[in-house]
Amino acid sequence: MSNVKAPKKGSTLLLTLLEIWVIAGLIAGTIFYIAMDFTSTKWGVPQGPERMMIMCAYTVISCLPIWVWSIYRYGMQQKWLAEDMGLPYDPSRRYPLFTTKRVVICALGVSLFGISGIIPATTFDLPQFVASFLTILYGPIEGGIGVGLGFLLIRGPIFSGYSNPFQLIGYCLGDGSIYFLAGHFYRQFIYYKPLRWRMTIGLVSYVLFVNFLHVGWFIPGLTWGVIWSGLGPLDWTLAQRAFANYYWCPFAWLPNIVLAYLVATALQRFKV
């Protein structure tokens, strides 16, 4: 019997407060986005410094709460943590969130996602493969941190050529929040289903969920899809949407997310 302390009673209350923060953040971010009239020409050229500041402010309002909620919520799921450690779940134990294994995988995920930027995502979306691979095989912590910090520290400044700190932070928070949410969605609603279900309904559900959050194929995304599409004036935004709808999603993005899902699912049985 372990002498590790059981979860504190205040944990549920704090989780509820964080959930309220997430909802309030999404609402406030939407109001902020509309109020700033982001697609107006008054904010200058596409992806200009003024637009990057607004985009960063949006992600701090809407996406930062998702990071905090996700990490805290996963830490409360003691059964999940026990499984991640390869241990049988014991209700009397308190399993740690940031084990040595998880920290190492997060660091490797940051490196892997960062280096994946060597191939332009609009040609062959290798970063999407890495993002979903980390999220499905390991979980939302590895996926969210790997994607967010991988962009901030490696992919953005080295392979995308971004030097504006507002742009780097905005993309970090926006992209990372997608895979924090996707990881929870997968673990909660797909992971424990029979293999046949996971490879059919689960696959379609995951793809649609991430697509809605990320690029919004013919449908604007809930968080990052909105901002990604609106980093310039209206005519530029419409052109970006057309590019995403008719080329990027069907030919560069979709094959990689499906392949990542299949590979990660196949590897789960080996507990890599």
pLDDT band at 217 (very low <50, low <70, confident <90, very high): confident
Q: Is the pLDDT of residue 216 over 80?
A: no
- Please, which residues have CB within 8 angstroms of residue 171's CB and are 6 or more apart in sequence? 151, 152, 156, 162
C-alpha–C-alpha distance, residues 226 and 59, integer Å: 11
CB 146 within 8 A of CB 156: no
Domain assignment of residue 3, yes or no: no
The pLDDT assigned to 225 comes to 60
What is the tens place of the pLDDT at every residue in 172-189? 999 999 999 999 999 999
Q: Is the pLDDT of residue 118 over 80?
A: yes
Q: Is the pLDDT of residue 265 over 90?
A: yes
Domain assignment of residue 89, yes or no: no
Q: What is the separation of C-alpha 63 from the centre of its chain, rounded to a whole number of angstroms?
A: 10
CB 165 within 8 A of CB 200: no
Domain assignment of residue 93, yes or no: no
Task: Look at the chain and report how many structural domains it folds into.
Answer: 1
> Higher-confidence residue: 38 or 220?
38
What is the tens place of the pLDDT at every residue in 125-172? 999 999 999 999 999 999 999 999 999 999 999 999 999 999 999 999
Sequential DSSP letters for the chain: ---PPPPPTTHHHHHHHHHHHHHHHHHHHHHHHHHTTTTSGGG-STT-HHHHHHHHHHHHHHTHHHHHHHHHHHHH-HHHHHHHTT----TT----SS-HHHHHHHHHHHHHHHHHTTS-TTTS-HHHHHHHHHHHHT-HHHHHHHHHHHIIIIIIIIIS----HHHHHHHHHHHHHHHHHHHHHHHHHTTTS-HHHIIIIIHHHHHHHHHHHTT-TTS--SSHHHHHHTSS-HHHHHHHHHHIIIIIIIIIIHHHHHHHHHHHHHHHTTT-
Give how far Cα 231 sits from Cα of 34, 40, 128, 215, 236, Å.
13, 10, 20, 13, 8
The mean pLDDT value for 89-97 works out to 93
Both structure tokens of 161:
């050529």
Both structure tokens of 190:
């797909």
What residue type is 251 in one-letter code?
F
Summary mean pLDDT of the chain: 89
C-alpha–C-alpha distance, residues 219 and 245, integer Å: 9
What is the tens place of the pLDDT at every residue in 18-54? 999 999 999 998 899 888 888 788 888 888 898 899 8
Q: Which of 21, 19, 38 has its CA nearest to residue 170?
A: 38
> Higher-confidence residue: 216 or 263?
263
CB 146 within 8 A of CB 131: yes
The pLDDT assigned to 228 comes to 62
Least confident span in 17-21, 112-116, 130-134, 236-240: 236-240
% of the chain with per-residue pLDDT over 90? 67
- Domain extent, residue 15, equals 11-84+98-268
Overall size of the chain counted in residues: 272
> Higher-confidence residue: 121 or 185?
185
Give how far Cα 194 sits from Cα of 28, 107, 189, Å.
39, 31, 11
C-alpha–C-alpha distance, residues 110 and 138, integer Å: 13
Q: Which of 266, 263, 257, 267 has its CA nearest to residue 129?
A: 257
Domain assignment of residue 241, yes or no: yes
Q: Is the pLDDT of residue 3 over 90?
A: no
Domain assignment of residue 70, yes or no: yes
The pLDDT assigned to 2 comes to 38
C-alpha–C-alpha distance, residues 237 and 232, integer Å: 6
The pTM of this model reads 0.92
Domain assignment of residue 158, yes or no: yes
